[in-house]
Amino acid sequence: MTLNQTTPTEEITIDQTLDAKGLNCPLPILKTKVLLNIMQPGQVLYVEATDPHSVVDFEAYAARTHHEIIQQGVNEGVYEFFIRRADNPVKI
């Protein structure tokens, strides 16, 4: 599977970091959800995960909740996600 890597036009400020390496579905998403729920709108969460299925999981989660994946990529088997918390996320 190829993961699209986007390049931001500006430097990303990270407000929280989540190390979800070694965790399998659904734990990376559940832990992400907990952190995003306590973050302020517009803040950025950086997540590292090793579960290959996390790519699909994070994209689906962001689409359903309106959080924004502003950058994602894979580096030496670690999937990286930069997620901006939505102003008014949809609760799921």
Cα 69 from Cα 56, distance rounded (Å): 12
Q: Which residue is catalytic, options 15, 16, 23, 25? A: 25
Q: Given strand 78-84, what is the order of strands in its sheet?
A: 16-20, 44-49, 78-84, 68-75
| β-strand partners of 19 | 48
Q: Is 82 a catalytic residue?
A: no
Residues designated catalytic: 25
